[in-house]
Chains A and B, each alone.
Chain A
Amino acid sequence: MRLLLVLLALSFAGTAANVWLLSGFVPWFLLPDFSFLVIVYAGLFLSGPLGFLAALLPAFFREISISGPPGTFLLASLAVYFAAREIGRRIFLRSEIFLLLIVAGLLAAESASVILLLVLEGGHPFSVLWGAEETVRIAWTSLLGVFLFVDLSVRWQRIRE
């Protein structure tokens, strides 16, 4: 229960700080997606209803704070959770490089899917500069994710012991 509360607080505080406090003067590519990280953490490390619950509220936060078509990011975030759960059950080796690859891979897959949908709808809003910025965002969020995941796992293990 304590871990669940920590994850929800992290997700809420991260989203709130990004959208209402830091946005507008900190460039978007330097603002890590905390809700996404919590969803992936829940998928990789928490099993059962607790993991789903830990992923559900961050998915709501993403739905509210991303101005995509209604419903899209709630469902996409839950898809990320189940994908992370599957990775966590089958191929996940607990090392930093695997964590980095998983977070970066899921972020890149989500980004590529949204870009594909936008381009298929007729929009061409993405430039080389945007690509570079998005790469920075993915790299930065993944690095922060590794740090957070390792830290949270170690603390959680200590509490359990």
Chain B
Amino acid sequence: MVRKFFRKWWRLFLVAALLAAAIQFFVRPPGFFPDQGIGRIGTYLFRPVYGGIDFLRQGISSLWSGYIGLVNVSRENRELRKEVAELRENLKESRDASLENRRLEDLLRFSKTLEKRTVGARVVGHDVSPWFQGIFIDAGTGEGVEPGMAVVIPDGAVGRVHRTYPGLSEVILLTDSRFAADVIVERNRVRAVAEGMGGNLCRLKYVSPTQEVVTGDRILFSGFDGSMPKGTPLGTVVSVDRPREGLFLNIQVASAVNFLSVEEVLVVLSRPSIPFRQGKP
């Protein structure tokens, strides 16, 4: 009887068992599930894709600026206009190159201001799932990147390395709900814990109503928990709500970084002092 029942419904039992295991992995203790093998295979499968797409993007960009951009040249003054357009395109290309150079120079200068060793990386993809906010960068285990390391740009913090593979790393953005770090208000050094809340926002937790935090205050990472370099900007306070009841203020902070426009980042090659749990605050 039992065997017959099990034989009939074994798939549903399997579904339940798989879901239970998935939940266990979701809430697991550190180091419970090393998945390097799966990840390595995956990156080998996807590496030609993101490498190729990066190459194609640059190619299309130069093709666009070199040829297609000239389609609207008037027939009357074709040669002249073509020349002007070419010069303009060259100028635009030079501007792009100079902007890229400036960004890279900023990164280099910024990396020198950091006391720790850093490695530069290019953003090659984004997590498109609805639940998590992350990006993929083209630096991985080969470059010394490890889970928990801070990812920054001169404007401010980007996030924290989540998983690493050869030549690729996943970075949890600081607006992801699993991100949390110790921060201070720049003006009066009030301490708080910043936690991601989706969109472009973070919330500050555990700030007493007796503390003075106002809209426009700049928030910096304190560096006490070792997760981010001390003084790295998190963002600016956009709203402070003083609840009638409750122990703490409700504070929202807009990130200093526009994550969609980030192209190059720096990974701070320093292990966090507090053990990092993949996918956990």
Chain B contact residues, CB within 8 Å of chain A = 11-12, 14-15, 18-19, 21-23, 25-28, 33-35, 38-39, 41-43, 45-46, 49-50, 53, 123-132, 134, 136, 162-163, 170, 172, 176-178, 195-199, 260, 278-281
A3 is an interface residue with CB less than 8 A from chain B: no
* B195 contact set on A, CB distance < 8 A: 123
Cβ of B195 to closest chain A Cβ, rounded Å: 7
- What is the CA–CA distance of A111 and B134 in the complex, to the nearest angstrom? 17
Cβ of B127 to closest chain A Cβ, rounded Å: 5
Q: Which residue of A lies closest to B17 (CB)?
A: A79
* B162 contact set on A, CB distance < 8 A: 67
Among B18, B25, B130, B281, the residue within 8 A (CB) of A133 is B130
Q: Is the CB of A125 within 8 A of B176?
A: yes
Contact with B along A60-94 (1 / 0, CB 8 A): 11011111111111111011001101100100000
* A129 contact set on B, CB distance < 8 A: 199
Q: Which residue of B lies closest to A27 (CB)?
A: B128
- What is the CA–CA distance of A16 and B51 in the complex, to the nearest angstrom? 11
Interface of B is mostly: mixed
Q: Is the CB of B178 within 8 A of A123?
A: yes
Chain A contact residues, CB within 8 Å of chain B = 12, 16, 18-25, 28-29, 31, 60-61, 63-76, 78-79, 82-83, 85-86, 89, 111, 113-115, 117-118, 121-127, 129-130, 133-134, 137
* A64 contact set on B, CB distance < 8 A: 38-39, 42-43, 46
- What is the CA–CA distance of A74 and B41 in the complex, to the nearest angstrom? 14
Q: Is the CB of B46 within 8 A of A20?
A: yes
Q: Is the CB of A67 within 8 A of B26?
A: no
Q: Is the CB of B125 within 8 A of A23?
A: yes
Cβ of B232 to closest chain A Cβ, rounded Å: 21
- What is the CA–CA distance of A130 and B131 in the complex, to the nearest angstrom? 10
- What is the CA–CA distance of A62 and B269 in the complex, to the nearest angstrom? 28
Q: Is the CB of B198 within 8 A of A69?
A: no
* A19 contact set on B, CB distance < 8 A: 46, 125-128, 136
Q: Is the CB of B278 within 8 A of A69?
A: yes
Task: Add 13 more A-B contacts to A19-B128, A72-B22, A114-B131 (CB < 8 A).
Answer: A16-B46, A23-B126, A60-B38, A60-B42, A61-B42, A64-B43, A65-B129, A69-B279, A74-B38, A118-B178, A121-B178, A123-B195, A130-B198
Q: Is the CB of A117 within 8 A of B26?
A: yes
Q: List 6 A-B contacts (CB under 8 A).
A: A12-B45, A69-B25, A70-B278, A118-B177, A125-B176, A125-B177
Q: Is the CB of A124 within 8 A of B15?
A: no
* B126 contact set on A, CB distance < 8 A: 19, 23-24, 28
User: Given A75-B21, A86-B11, A117-B26, are A67 and B42 neighbors across the interface (CB < 8 Å)?
Assistant: no
| A-B residue pairs, 5 tightest by C-beta | A123-B177, A125-B177, A69-B279, A64-B42, A23-B126
Q: Is the CB of A63 within 8 A of B129?
A: no
- What is the CA–CA distance of A124 and B8 in the complex, to the nearest angstrom? 40
Q: Is the CB of B198 within 8 A of A70?
A: no
Most buried by B among A12, A61, A65: A65
Q: Is the CB of B131 within 8 A of A111?
A: yes
User: Given A69-B28, A126-B198, are A82 and B50 neighbors across the interface (CB < 8 Å)?
Assistant: no
Q: Is the CB of B130 within 8 A of A69?
A: no
Q: Is the CB of A23 within 8 A of B198?
A: no
Q: Is the CB of A65 within 8 A of B128?
A: yes
Q: Is the CB of A63 within 8 A of B42?
A: yes
- What is the CA–CA distance of A78 and B11 in the complex, to the nearest angstrom? 11
Q: Is the CB of A69 within 8 A of B197?
A: no
Q: Which residue of B lies closest to A125 (CB)?
A: B177
Cβ of A82 to closest chain B Cβ, rounded Å: 5
Q: Which residue of A lies closest to B260 (CB)?
A: A24
Cβ of B129 to closest chain A Cβ, rounded Å: 4
